[in-house]
Structure 1
């Protein structure tokens, strides 16, 4: 699970850093997607790793909740601790990005690139919103898992199919919004089954998942790419059954290769790298787009250098240099904000279920506000920051001496 989490987050960052096609003209930055060209969509069947991240989170959540129950922690205390750990690293992001657009425009940066960056910096938080829903649902979903097992993700998948039928038959994109919860909860629930040792036919999952996705794309209304493309229907926002099928295929493939993955992870150098990365995953996720904005502001906006056409020799030869620049920009962000990866230890949470639920709703409202509006100047980022701080204040803290997994 540690390998899957680190691998998933690394691929998310690599994809976000590699796919933008950028140019700057007359005060406006123009964006495109390198994966929209040719047959590059096939890459997304592996590189769209959010299903693996939610699957790993489900397994970690099941293990963590059961361990807390053995220690005598109440469900409310466990939830408060998970909400606090999930939201704490967002505080410095909000502290920097709420005033930053005002400062950049005051310093003479063109308004459109600043607004674009401000919006994208908040959109990343969609993952935390949905993950927060999954964390809040962990205790009741574990009870359902204990009684119904495989039938729980099967019912969620069937509901997702019904939602897709309404979405595509009626031509209403908004009808697909329930799948934002249904699809990701189905994958999260598969993590419970893994924690129980009940995923015993990985190759069947891999072939069945990828095979189903291929049929849905070939004969259904689903696009081939598993990430959103400009001007096209998206398998990602909201997620579709095709993405769920790819997720099942990815999980099956990962489990089929589990023995080799675990063996590789035990190599001393790899083990140290995994330990280092696992303690900085949330910081990397939250700030990697900020590193991108720094380099774009210098290279694309400042120097006027546009991204070469994808797949050309210029693009291929420039890609490693581009990644190196981004890594250099990311390093001080990791050093500066990595200290916020986990909240400080404190007194155990003593509130009840109502207080923990209120904290969860407030934190979720703050994260959702940032997701929808970004950090574009206005009232919304201030409201989102206020809700986030209020929710965190209600969580208290759980006294811990060790640093647990970031998304567990």
Structure 2
């Protein structure tokens, strides 16, 4: 979720702006940042805290609104994020191949650099979660309350597992895309439908976890098409028709009781409707690509995206723990809490968003050391061998997958606090290049 590559480290000058625009599609950065901010905003509107004579109450005002389900067809932006991730991955993979040389392994270089970039910011989070849940357990926090809080804090961590899996698959999936792009998309769509069919027929929810592959890889493949310029070459009328058809197909799909019309319910495990949502969103983005490009030529938009986007992963990982902590501090200080769902409560949501983003950015600055990318390989070095990379991938992706399956707990947090640093350390090591080893 970061926009490091190609962006200046200081406030952008006019020359910087021209240089950046010439090098990259800034709409990608805008969408990434907007998706993160929207996710944060949705979460703070789904948690309403009230403190009165009856004690502490937690409600979900957003989900109580009559138009909430319909809004998820627009506000569920995770399919679009994986599309955008596919675009960035295609560009990044080609760059990795170009600089790998004859003696290097671009696939190992890619997997190592992407997993470290994704999981290194998660190291302090898992450590803090393990310490916090351990202390809360030791002081006798009611297990039911602790489980509810841990569930809320851990809910966004599914993304680490899903995105980590898709990033590991990029070298192979790009190869499939180059050979048979439409056949690959069709197979992924069929696999997603087959997984859902088995899950629904057997009633075994765990089967749905298999769709972490087909659904999100399908969205990623659409991003590959975007990077190829396929969407840009299509007439706007066709893009609009495809988007309308995708949404039209969602109507019967979500009306027969097999899939929920609430697109957030279809998220974990991911289900087939999200693939059609990805199609619609990819087409709609291309329809507004020109005005978004003009927007990103303004210093205000570029500066905002730079400030928020470069710390996007840290903001995403920390916003819920920080939101819960800020509410706890406000309760201890006796701050007034407006009735959740009231006019005053909704009026304070933009303020809550700004405060939470500001605190998250402060945490990101304090933890900047953990947001370092791996340095590029020198000609005489290579990434660790595949068995080491595989072990490291399990160490990093595994804890997030456990959160998806068993929810966050003290034990799972400890696994993450131990496993993720080990995985990042393994991936950060280098080995002699093949030509050096042969000598």
Per the TM superposition, whether the score is higher than 0.5 is: yes
Over 3 Å counting, the alpha-carbon distance change for 1:216 and 1:375 in structure 2 is closer
The reply to whether residue 248 of structure 1 matches residue 279 of structure 2 is: yes
Contact 1:349 1:395 (C-alpha < 8 Å) held by counterparts: no
The one of 105, 126, 134 aligned to 2:166: 134
What is the RMSD of the two structures over their aligned residues, measured on CA atoms?
2.7
Quick one: distance in 2 between partners of 1:138 and 1:344? 18
Paired position in structure 1 for 2:343:
313
Quick one: distance in 1 between partners of 2:360 and 2:248? 38
Q: Residues 73-95 of structure 1: CA distance to partner in whole angstroms, max 9, x if unpaired?
A: 52112211111111100111122
Contact 2:126 2:414 (C-alpha < 8 Å) held by counterparts: no
Q: CA deviation at 1:113?
A: 4.1
How many residue pairs get aligned? The number is: 390
Quick one: distance in 1 between partners of 2:126 and 2:262? 32
Q: CA deviation at 1:218?
A: 3.2
What 5-or-longer segments of structure 2 have no aligned partner?
A: 1-27, 431-439
The one of 84, 98, 121 aligned to 1:89: 121
Paired position in structure 1 for 2:90:
62
What 5-or-longer segments of structure 1 have no aligned partner?
A: 228-233, 399-408
Contact 1:349 1:397 (C-alpha < 8 Å) held by counterparts: no
Instruction: Tell me the SS of whatever aligns to 1:22.
Output: strand
When normalised by structure 2's length, the TM-score is 0.80
Over 3 Å counting, the alpha-carbon distance change for 1:161 and 1:30 in structure 2 is same
Quick one: distance in 2 between partners of 1:125 and 1:105? 21
Paired position in structure 2 for 1:377:
410
Contact 1:80 1:349 (C-alpha < 8 Å) held by counterparts: no
Contact 1:163 1:178 (C-alpha < 8 Å) held by counterparts: yes
The residue correspondences of 1:4-403 to structure 2 (distance < 5 A) are: 4-23=31-50, 30-32=58-60, 34-72=62-100, 73-74=104-105, 75-104=107-136, 112-199=144-231, 200=234, 201-227=238-264, 234-299=265-330, 303=334, 308-310=339-341, 312-343=342-373, 345=375, 349-373=382-406, 376-378=409-411, 380-396=412-428
Q: CA deviation at 1:207?
A: 1.3
Q: CA deviation at 1:127?
A: 0.4
Q: CA deviation at 1:191?
A: 0.8
Contact 1:164 1:241 (C-alpha < 8 Å) held by counterparts: yes
Quick one: distance in 1 between partners of 2:163 and 2:44? 23
When normalised by structure 1's length, the TM-score is 0.86
Over 3 Å counting, the alpha-carbon distance change for 1:163 and 1:288 in structure 2 is same
Quick one: distance in 2 between partners of 1:290 and 1:132? 22
Q: Residues 16-44 of structure 1: CA distance to partner in whole angstroms, max 9, x if unpaired?
A: 11122334688875443522431221211
